[in-house]
Amino acid sequence: SSTFVDMSKERDVVIKQYVPRLRRVLLERGLSLAVVDMRWGVTEDQSKQNMTAAICLKEVSRSDYFVTHLGERYGWCPTESQLSRETFQVAPALKSQGYLGRSVTEWEIRHGALGWGDGSVPRPRR
């Protein structure tokens, strides 16, 4: 995860240089790697339906591991009206724990790496 605007070149380096090497190492150990890059995952129609945050958080939920690139931008901070109902089903803590007004990148980090809230712990891995 990272903001779309400021990390494009860095994402490209990871995808082109590091992912192929990592795939080879994992394959030797009987493991696989699936990369999710949301630059490719949200259509214009989904964006118009306010589904961007829900789609990003769902992808984080499906992942066993979470990697983020942090740069100079904090990221998009949607208002409640810019979020679909599904976003709050995927991440009910957005309202209950006061995360509205923060960036989607922060939500992804909390959701994927840290869990939600002060007393939460990362979810067990499969």
Burial of 79 (0-12, 13-18, 19+ CB in 10 A): exposed
What lies within 8 Å, CB to CB, of 20 at 6+ separation is: none
Residue 74 confidence class, pLDDT cut points 50, 70, 90:
confident
Please give the model's pTM, rounded to 2 decimal places: 0.76
pLDDT (tens digit, 9 = 90+) per residue, 78-95? Answer: 999 999 999 998 888 888
To which residue do tokens 């009206």 refer? 81
What distance in Å separates the CA atoms of residue 58 and residue 66, rounded to the nearest whole number?
12
Phi, psi torsion values for 71, nearest 5 degrees: -125, -145
Each residue of 25-69: pLDDT tens digit?
A: 999 999 988 888 777 778 889 989 999 999 988 888 888 777 887
